[in-house]
Amino acid sequence: MRRVFGLMVVGLLVATAALAELRPGGPLGLHRCGDGWCGRLTRPLDPAGDVPGTIAITFTLIPQRDPARPNAGTIVAAEGGPGYSTQGSRYDYAALFEPLLDDRHLLLMDNRGTGASGTLRCRALQRDPLYAADDVEACGRQLGPEAALFGSALAADDLAALLDALELGPVDLYGDSYGTFFGQVFAGRHPARLRRMVLDGAFAARGGDPWYPEATAQANAGFDAVCARNPVCAARGGTSSARIAALLASLRTAPASGMAPDGDGRRRQVTADARALAFVMLSNASGPVVYRDLDAAARAWSGGDHAPFLRLVAENETGSASAGSRTTSRQFSSALFVAVSCADYPQIFDATLPASERAAGADAAIQAKQRDEPDVYAPFTIDEMLSVPQDYSVVRLCVPWPTPPLAHPPGQPVPPEADFPAIPVLVLSGELDSLTPVAQAERAAALFPSARSLLVRNSFHVTALGDLDGCASELVRRFLATGDAGDTSCVDRVPDYRLVPDFARRAADLPPMTPALGHEGDEADLRRMHAGLQTVADVVARWWVNYDGSGAGLRGGRFRVTSTADGARFRLRGVRWTEDLEVSGKIEWRIATDDVQAELVLRGAGLGAGTLHVEWSGRAPGVSARASGRFDDRAVAATSPAP
C-alpha cells in the first residue's frame, strides 16, 4: 500500500498559515514592490558542499488584501519552461487568482537560475533557436561543476526553506507546464508542505518515457477532432491527419523554399520540408493558428499554392520559445532549460556516463528504436522528428552536457523511495495540447492517490492562464478555495475553433456569400465580399503570433496592431489575402467575446473602389458574419458563417 505522508501534520499546521510580520530589511532584505513585498533568501549553491558559494533566491509575496479577515492560506505559483521567471508572470497569476486574494497570500519565487535568482546565461545558446550540440556543450563547459546544481530537486528545497523563513504553513500550489513537474517534485520531497495542488499542462516527474511518443498521436487526434466539428471541413470527407500526411509525402519528395512573412511581418527565406512540418505539428500546442490554417494550407499546397504553408513555417520558426533573440536570459534562460532537462528528465542513454561515451549509447538506442518501433512518431520518421529543434525534440539534447556528480544523480528529482501525498490534486489538460499530451497528464495524476484529471475540450497548452472561456480558470479557483472543483461540465462546452475553409489566390475562386436584403450587386461582388471577410479573419488570427505590433498580409500589404482595454485594434494598408484584392481600413476586436467590427476599403479583383462594413460576435457555433457597403455605384449586403 502506498504510504501517505503528512496528512495529520497538515491538519495541525493550517492554523499557522498567518504570515510572519513583514518589515523592511531583515535577513530576507524585504522591500515594498507594488502591492507586495520583494526579497531574497540566501541558499547554498550546492547543499552537498562540493561546490562552494551561495545563490540568492528572489521572491514576491503579495499579502492578503483584507488583513481583517482570517487568513485562508497561501497560493504558490510555479512557471513553466523550464527557464521562465515566475515573478515575470506576476500580473498573469494575480489576474488568475484575483477573486481569492482578499484572504489569501500569493507567493511567487524565481527558481534558481531563472529571473532574478542567479540567472543562468550562456550567450551562444540563448541566441541559438536550434539548441545545437556545440552550443549545448559550450554552455556546459562554461557552467562547469555548477551545471548539475539547478535541477528541480534543489529548487523545491529552496521553496521549502523560503516557506520556513516566511513562517508559512502548508500552501496551495498551482503549476503550469514545467511548473507541474516542479510541483510534483515539491510534493514528493516536502509532502507536509502542501495542502492541495493544481497541475495545468502536466507531465510526470516519475515514470516518463524519454521518447515522448504521445506528442504526434495527440496532434493527429487533435487535427481530426477540430475538423470533424467544423461543418465545411467535415463535409470534405476523409480526415485532416490524412491530408497532412499527404502534405508530408509531397514535402519528402519535393521540398520547396520561398519567402514568407513571419508573425511580425518580416519576410524570411524558409524551407518547407518534412522537418518543418514536424516542427509546426509539434509546437502547435499554445494557440489556434496552426489548427486554423494547416488543413487548408495542406490542400492549397497540393494545388500548387505554397504561400499559406510557407507562412506557417516562418511564423513557427520565429515564434518558437527557443528564439532567444526575442527574450533576455532573465525572461527565459535557455541555459536553465538545458540544465533542468539534463538533471531531471529521463534519457535514452545512461546519463551517468561521461559525455564522450554518451553519443554511442544514444546512437544505439535510436537504431534499436528504428528497428523495433519505426512508427513511434507516425506519420513522421524518427529521424524527421529528431531533426526538430532540441528544445522540442529533446531526445539527444543532453548528450554533450557534463556528467553530474554522485551527490546529484540524474533523473531522480524525487527520491525513488518517496511516496506522493494523498492531498487533493487537480490535473487539467488541453484537448489540443501536443506539448504535454493528456496521456502524460494522466501519468502524472496516477502518482497521487487523490488526484482528479480533467480534459478541457478545444483547449491548448495551459488551460487556466489567459482563459478566454471562463472555464478552466474558474475550476482552478474553486479547487484552490475548497479542494473540490465542483461542477466541471464546462470542460465539454468550450467553443469550437473556426477553420479556414479554403485559401484562394483570386477572389473569384471563393464561394459567394449569401445575399441579404438590399443587395444590388452580382455574384462576383459576393465573392469579393467573401475575400474581404476572410482577410479580416486572417489578420485577426495573426494576433496570436505577433510580438512587435507590425504584421504583413499573406500575399502582401501591411498592418499594425495596438492593444485596447479589452482586445486589439488593427489598421490595414493594402493587405492582400488573395493576390488580386487589396484591403485597407481598421478592425476592432474584443478578444474574450470574439466581437469584430471592421471598416474596410477594397480595391482590385475587377472592382474600381468599394467600402465594406464587416461584423460578427461570439465563438459559439452558428454565429453569422454580416457585411454591407457599396461597390462602385451599387449597394452590397450579405451574410456568411463567421470565419
Does residue 130 fall inside a structural domain? no
How does DSSP assign 536-600, residue by residue? HHHHHHGGGG-SSSEEE-TTS-EEEEEE-SSEEEEEEEEE-SSTTEEEEEEEEEETTTTEEEEEE
What pLDDT digit, counting tens, does each position of 92-108 carry? 999 999 999 999 999 99
50: cell is: 562540493
**512 and 488 both lie in a single domain:** no
C-alpha cell at 450: 487523490
How does pLDDT run across 410-448, given as a tens digit for each residue? 999 999 999 999 999 999 999 999 999 999 999 999 999
Among candidate residues 539, 193, 217, the one with its CA nearest the CA of residue 376: 217
Whether the predicted model's global pTM rises above the 0.85 cut: yes
Three-class DSSP category at 478: helix
C-alpha cell at 187: 510534493
| CA atoms 178, 120, 155, 353: torsion sign | positive
> Is 468 in the same domain as 589?
no
Tell which residue, 392, 395, 227, has the closest CA to residue 298: 227
The residue to which cell 501519468 is assigned? 443
Verify that 462 and 541 share a domain, yes or no.
no
Q: How confident is the model at residue 320 (pLDDT cuts 50, 70, 90)?
A: low
Instruction: Calculate the alpha carbon distances from 181 to 102, 174, 208, 380, 413 in Å.
Output: 29, 11, 11, 27, 10
In this predicted model, what pLDDT tens digit does every residue of 179-214 receive, in sequence order? 999 999 999 999 999 999 999 999 999 999 999 999
Average pLDDT on 551-574 reads 97
Judge if 598 and 635 occupy the same domain: yes
**Residue that is written with C-alpha cell 478555495 in the block:** 481
Angle at 117 between CA 115 and CA 123, to 5 degrees: 60
| 372 found inside a domain | no
Last residue of a domain, one of 433, 465, 492: 492
**Residue 427 domain flag:** yes
Q: Is the pLDDT of residue 4 over 60?
A: no
Q: Which pLDDT score, from 0 to 100, does residue 347 have?
A: 97
pLDDT above 70 for 15: no
Q: What is the pLDDT of residue 326?
A: 58
Domain count, the chain: 2
Residues 565 and 461 in one domain: no
* Mean pLDDT over the full length of the chain: 93
Choose the final residue of a domain: 492, 522, 546. 492
Strands (E), 122-234: 171-176, 194-200
What is the percentage of the chain residues whose pLDDT exceeds 70? Answer: 95
Residues 480 and 520 reside in one and the same domain: no
CA terminus-to-terminus distance, the chain: 54
Return the closest-CA partner of residue 354 out of 405, 281, 309.
405
The rounded distance, in Å, linking the Cα atoms of 366 and 374 is 10
pLDDT confidence of residue 19:
64
The answer for residues whose C-beta is within 8 angstroms of residue 626's C-beta and 6 or more apart is: 516, 614, 615, 616, 637, 638, 639
Q: In angstroms, rounded to a whole number, what is the distance separating the alpha carbons of residues 65 and 80?
A: 27
Q: Structural domain of residue 59, as residue ranges? A: 7-122+144-210+411-492
Looking at 426, 459, 492, the residue that finishes a domain is 492
Rounded to whole angstroms, the Cα distance separating 37 from 45 reads 24
Q: Over the stretch 346-404, which tens digit does the pLDDT of each residue have?
A: 999 999 999 889 999 999 999 999 999 999 999 999 999 999 988 888 999 999 999 99
pLDDT by residue (tens digit) across 132-173?
Answer: 999 999 999 999 999 999 999 999 999 999 999 999 999 999
Looking at residue 10, what is its pLDDT?
31
The rounded distance, in Å, linking the Cα atoms of 534 and 640 is 11
Q: Report pLDDT digits (tens) over 603-620.
A: 999 998 899 999 999 988
pLDDT at 619: 86
Of 51-55, 291-295, 387-391, the range with the lowest mean pLDDT is 387-391
